[in-house]
Amino acid sequence: MVGPFGPGDPAHPDADHALRWPAGFSPRYADAWARSELVAKADPADVFSRLITPCHWQRDFSGIRNVRFPASGRGFLEPDSEFEFEVHGLRLEARVIELADGRLAWFGQGIDISVYHVWLVSSGPGRSSAVLTGFAARGAAAVALTEPDPGRAHAMLDRWVRDLKKAVEGTHSYAKSRPSRRGRRGGRPAW
């Protein structure tokens, strides 16, 4: 079969091994999932710094509110840091499970939802950064997120990568943001 989720289809939920989905959170088994990427005209260290500094999230990312971050007082995430935030009205308590070499991954738990989210930041062409991100969610709240609009989870993640690009480039131009490889449980791409 050629096309959506055929052999070698890059849009297949499990095709992106760079994201390394943990057991039980592969997009194949998630109730909602999304993947997106972008190239930003900013140094990778600056992009990664923005991601691990929760005090920036409310300002930089659409739909994020009431962020509470590490008690260490340092103001940035570290391995095993616990933090809380609201995303589109859904409260999540989260813990960083990976933070090294341009990779930030965390598990989050809320009422009727469990979430895994990963960000990968690497050097892009010139002095740019390549960013790859994805999340997978399970539970009734994840189902409710995608039930009225199967593409809603991916649209939210696409908006966050555009927001990140805008924040690190200091511009309102989203022209180079490149969302890709969408999908959700059920096997068909959301585009």
* 67 belongs to a structural domain: yes
* 72 belongs to a structural domain: yes
User: pLDDT tens, position by position, for the chain (191 residues)?
Assistant: 233 333 443 444 545 568 888 888 888 889 999 999 999 999 999 999 999 998 889 999 988 999 988 666 678 899 999 999 999 889 999 999 999 999 999 999 999 999 999 999 999 888 899 999 999 999 999 999 888 888 889 999 999 999 999 999 985 333 333 333 333 333 322 22
- Classify residue 57 as left (phi > 0), alpha (psi -120 to 50) or beta: alpha
* 175 belongs to a structural domain: no
* Count: domains in the chain: 1
CATH number at residue 94: 3.30.530.20
- Given a contact cutoff of 8 angstroms between Cβ atoms, the answer to whether 176 and 161 are in contact is no
* 182 belongs to a structural domain: no
* 114 belongs to a structural domain: yes
- Given a contact cutoff of 8 angstroms between Cβ atoms, the answer to whether 64 and 164 are in contact is no
- Evaluate if pTM is beyond 0.75: yes
* 181 belongs to a structural domain: no
Domain containing 111 equals: 23-169
| Distance of alpha carbon 52 from alpha carbon 54, whole angstroms | 6
* 41 belongs to a structural domain: yes
* 14 belongs to a structural domain: no
pLDDT of residue 49: 94
- Given a contact cutoff of 8 angstroms between Cβ atoms, the answer to whether 131 and 49 are in contact is no
pLDDT of residue 74: 75
| Distance of alpha carbon 65 from alpha carbon 84, whole angstroms | 10
